[in-house]
Amino acid sequence: FRHAVFETSVAKPCGLPPALADAPEIAFVGRSNAGKSSALNTLAGHTRLAFVSKTPGRTQLINFFRLPNGVRLVDLPGYGYAAVPEAIRRSWAGLLEHYLKKRENLIGLVMIMDARRPLTELDLQMIDWFAPTANPIHILLSKADKLTRQESAKTLREVRAALEIYGGQISVQLFSSLKKTGIEEAETVVGAWLED
Ligand code: GDP
Residue 29 near ligand 1, beta carbon < 6 Å: no
Q: How far apart are CA 183 and CA 129, in angstroms?
A: 26
Confidence of residue 103 (pLDDT cuts 50, 70, 90): very high
- Give the number of the atom of ligand 1 that is nearest the alpha carbon of residue 177: 23
* pLDDT value, residue 57: 45
Model confidence at 8: pLDDT above 50? yes
Model confidence at 82: pLDDT above 60? yes
Model ipTM? Answer: 0.98
Number of structural domains (the chain) is 1
Domain extent, residue 174, equals 5-195
Residue 122 near ligand 1, beta carbon < 6 Å: no
Residue 28 near ligand 1, beta carbon < 6 Å: no
60 CA distance to ligand 1 middle (Å): 17
For 112-147, how does the pLDDT look when each residue is reduced to its tens digit (9 = 90+)? 999 999 999 999 999 999 999 999 999 999 999 999
35 CA distance to ligand 1 middle (Å): 4
CATH number at residue 127: 3.40.50.300
- The whole-model pTM stands at 0.94
For 25-72, how does the pLDDT look when each residue is reduced to its tens digit (9 = 90+)? 999 999 989 999 899 889 887 656 655 444 544 557 888 999 989 999
